[in-house]
Amino acid sequence: MTMQQTDMATYNFAYLDEQTKRMIRRAILKAIAIPGYQVPFASREMPMPYGWGTGGVQVTASILGPDDVLKVIDQGADDTTNAVSIRAFFQRVANVAVTTHTKDATVIQTRHRIPEETLGEGQVLVYQVPIPEPLRYLEPRETETRKMHALEEYGLMHVKLYEDIARNGHIATTYAYPVKVEGRYVMDPSPTPKFDNPKMHMSEALQLFGAGREKRIYALPPYTEVVSLDFEDHPFEIQKFDQPCALCGAEGVYLDEVILDDKGGRMFVCSDTDHCEKRREEGHRGPLAAEAPEMHS
Amino acid sequence: MYVAVKGGEKAINNAHRLLADRRRGDRSVPAVSLEQIVEQLALGVDRIMSEASLYDRELAALAMKQSRGDMIEAIFLLRAYRTTLPRFGYSEPIDTAEMRIERRISATYKDLPGGQLLGPTFDYTHRLLDPALMADGEVEPGMAAEAETGRTPRVSEILAHEGLIESDGDLPDDHRTGDLTREPMEFPMERDIRLQALARGDEGFLLALGYSTQRGYARTHPFTGEIRIGEVEVLLEVPELGFAVSLGEIQVTECQMVTQFKGSAKSPPQFTRGYGLVFGQSERKAMAMSLVDRALRAEELGEDIVAPAQDEEFVISHSDNVQATGFVEHLKLPHYVDFQAELDLVRRMRAEYEANQKKQEGNGGDTLEAAE
């Protein structure tokens, strides 16, 4: 019976015990060896709830070394509550250096976005994944979907996309848009907007995906071919915004819509806060920059 | 307003501080002690231990106190602690026939070797609120029956002599008991893993599923063969010593549900069993577990799988309340990036729709009606 105050300091480096880390690293290595394949792993209970990024946290905890520089984003932003919470967790249990600058980070844990700045060799992007199975909403049974992957039986997914077109005139999947990896496995990119899909293709960075509740890890090694599913006559398209970022004037980036009042007033600003701040530091200005100086405090 | 949805460290810290304040409540009321929780809210403590898969009353009480009485939060706290503990071995299987029994009932026999022992049960109380409990009055000490010593055969052993009930069965020599918490779950699963999952499964979920089997969704005609509650010894085989040493005693509730079975090509007509075992005293959970265990054996026994309670993937994938609450509650995390993508799509589709409407209006009213 150990009732003494259990301080965080008594936990192992990066929280997980070394045995668990080795188990997760084995799963990661297997995942890298078979890009896009979902490797089952014995996910642990973490001190944050399932759905809050326990898969990503376990992957990060297993690959983090004392010299790493960690960045954590949620919705593209470093200052969303959960990103703050996860960053603080690793500061506390691993005492690693943290940053908000994409280019300074060696490990970036993310939920729902890929940074706008192109990632380079030596960087690792860790995705938090809620439902790793791209076929899940078409077939709820794991026993079935595993068979479908084994047999490369992806007809159902194409039928789904086709039905979208038949009903709506275009594909109605806007995020978690399925991709095919190295011509073999269909993979869920996690619920990133499809805007980010092209960034995964031939990325110089290692991309790791952790799903804690569903107990799966998968990976895209650097320079992996990642193709968004589409049809010849309905090619894959990403979202386009009609206006630039209101703060930094950036175009061709993903924007958040910010409601300004209850009369329909709204502005569009960069979802990637680091990218936006960097541009403003470089002197770029959007149309509303002067009016909203405190946006990304 | 915008800044408010973005938390930042300060907001989180303030929220935690407020939580701690609310947890403590009115400071003029004495704080509840762990001893009080262990002694007076014992069944809640037992549930936390069961579903957290960690037998430690004091820690469970701490979790309950810290979670302000939110059971699933308490279970989560204890699980997150459990997962960091090193595994130094696996105990021998506990022998419930050797249990020091506090309660033992069978619904299938009027009397049986070892007797019926009601023990501390709510069963025959009248559910009338007792105003006397509002004051801290004297409570008479309980009168425990003279503890029976020695083995109390389990009811399944009684029927076994006639061959009318399936035996415990044998495991292959090379069978290594699985560990749900250390190996990835795979479907279909062996019964040992399934029982582990059910033992930590949510009481409410299993109760509802067990109930559904009684109402015709995979009916198994169950009888409570036996429920027993008491202390059993936990033994650990220490390789250096070459024999098993006692680690102490734990309280468990065991339920064996006996169900009719018409027989199949593989086995003769006989009674089959569903099994439930949980830490502490929790008959409801043990009974529900044994009903669901039996329902999940449908495939093994060659029964048709027609109901949710028989569907292993459905039941086991959704029985864990820590996982379930996490995923349900994660919906309150920001999703605005994806929502933005959907918003964009709906706006686009709406524009197309309105353009179509306009075109049809130009063509005359009839076509509009048809389109609607």
Per-residue pLDDT of chain A (297 residues; tens, 9 = 90+): 344 444 444 688 999 999 999 999 999 999 999 999 999 999 999 999 999 999 999 999 999 999 999 999 999 999 988 999 999 999 999 999 999 999 999 999 999 999 999 999 999 999 999 999 999 999 999 999 999 999 999 999 999 999 999 988 889 899 999 999 999 999 999 999 999 999 999 999 999 999 999 999 999 999 999 999 999 999 999 999 999 999 999 999 999 998 888 888 889 999 999 999 999 999 999 998 775 545 444
* B73 shares its domain with B154: no
The pLDDT score that the predictor gives to residue B112 is 83
Q: Which residue has the higher pLDDT, B18 or B148?
A: B18
Co-location of B309 and B259 in the same domain: yes
Burial string for B70-94 (b: 16+ CB within 10 Å, else e) reads ebbbbbbbbbbbbbbeeeeeeeeeb
What span, in angstroms and rounded, lies between the C-alpha atoms of B64 and B55?
Answer: 14
State pLDDT tens for residues B45-61.
999 999 999 999 999 99
Same-domain pairing of B101 and B57: no
Structural contact between residues B248 and B234, judged by C-beta atoms closer than 8 angstroms: yes
Query: Which amino acid is present at A72?
Result: V
Residues B71 and B201 in one domain: no
Task: Check residue B364 and give its pLDDT.
Answer: 65
CA A45, CA B81: separation in Å to the nearest integer?
Answer: 8
- Confidence label for B162 from pLDDT (cuts 50, 70 and 90): confident
Burial level of A200, CB count in 10 A (0-12/13-18/19+)? buried
The domain containing residue B108 runs over which residues? 96-119+150-167+179-320
Which residue of chain B has the CA closest to A295? Answer: B3
What is the pLDDT, as a whole number, of residue B1? 32
Say if residue B143 is exposed, middle or buried (CB neighbours under 10 Å; 0-12, 13-18, 19+): exposed
Would you tell me which residues 181-200 of chain B have a C-beta closer than 8 angstroms to some C-beta of chain A? 181-188
Residue B304: pLDDT above 50? yes
Better pLDDT: A10 or B341: B341
Establish if B342 belongs to a structural domain: no
Question: Closest Cα of chain A to B285: distance in Å?
Answer: 23
Whether A42 contacts A23, CB under 8 Å: yes
How far is B311 from B287, CA to CA, in rounded Å?
Answer: 19
Number of domains in chain B: 2
DSSP conformation class of A179: E
Beta strands in chain B (DSSP E): 100-105, 222-238, 243-261, 270-279
Q: What is the pLDDT of residue A293?
A: 47
Q: How far is B14 from chain A (nearest CA, A)?
A: 12
Please count the residue pairs, one from chain A and one from chain B, whose beta carbons lie less than 8 angstroms apart: 149
The Cα A130–Cα A212 span in angstroms is: 8
Residue A148 Cα, gap to closest chain B Cα (Å): 15
Whether residues B69 and B103 fall in one domain: no
Q: Is the residue at B237 inside a domain?
A: yes
Q: In whole angstroms, what is the distance from residue B288 CA to residue B202 CA?
A: 10
Looking at the domain assignment, is residue B334 inside a domain? Answer: no
**Nearest-angstrom CA–CA distance, B286 and B47:** 11
User: Cα–Cα distance between A51 and B324 in angstroms, integer?
Assistant: 9
User: Within this chain, do residues B158 and B274 fall inside the same structural domain, yes or no?
Assistant: yes
Give yes or no for a contact between A14 and A8, defined as CB atoms under 8 angstroms apart.
no
CB B281, CB B43: distance < 8 Å: yes
Query: Please, are residues A115 and A272 in contact by the beta-carbon 8 Å criterion?
Result: yes
Instruction: Give the pLDDT score at B11.
Output: 87
Tell whether B204 and B247 lie within a shared domain: yes
The dihedrals phi and psi of A216, each to the nearest 5 degrees, come to -135, 145
Mean pLDDT of chain B: 90
- Residue B55 inside a domain? The answer is yes
Least confident of A111-125, B162-176, B268-282: B162-176
Alpha-carbon gap, residue B64 to B77, rounded angstroms:
9
User: Of A210, A212, A245, A286, which one is the catalytic site residue?
Assistant: A245
Contacts of B1 in chain A (CB under 8 A): 259
Chain A residues in contact with B196 (beta carbon < 8 A): none
B62 alpha carbon, distance to own chain's centre: 20
Q: ipTM of this predicted complex?
A: 0.80
Phi-psi region of B248 (alpha: psi -120 to 50; beta: other; left: phi over 0): left
Of A290, A289, A287, A277, give the one whose Cα is nearest residue A116: A277
**B157 in the same domain as B62:** no
**% of residues, chain B, pLDDT over 90:** 64
Rounded CA separation B139/A246 (Å) = 72
> pLDDT category, B302, cuts 50, 70, 90?
confident
Place of tokens 């770029």: A284
Q: Please indicate, yes or no, whether residues B292 and B155 belong to a single structural domain of this protein.
A: yes
Residues B49 and B107 in one domain: no
- Please indicate, yes or no, if residue B154 is contained in any of the structural domains: yes
Separation CA B291–CA B208 (nearest Å): 11
Please tell me the predicted confidence (pLDDT) of residue B115: 85
Other C-beta atoms closer than 10 Å to the C-beta of B309 total 25
Residues B59 and B157 in one domain: no
Section B169-178 average pLDDT: 83
| pTM, full prediction | 0.87
Sheet with A179-181, strands from edge to edge, namely: A185-187, A179-181, A226-228
Distance from C-alpha of A10 to C-alpha of B9, rounded to nearest angstrom: 23
Q: Is residue B257 part of a domain?
A: yes
Q: Is the pLDDT of residue B169 over 80?
A: no
Residue B245 shares a structural domain with residue B310: yes
Quick check: is B50 in a domain?
A: yes
**Is B357 part of a structural domain of the chain?**
no
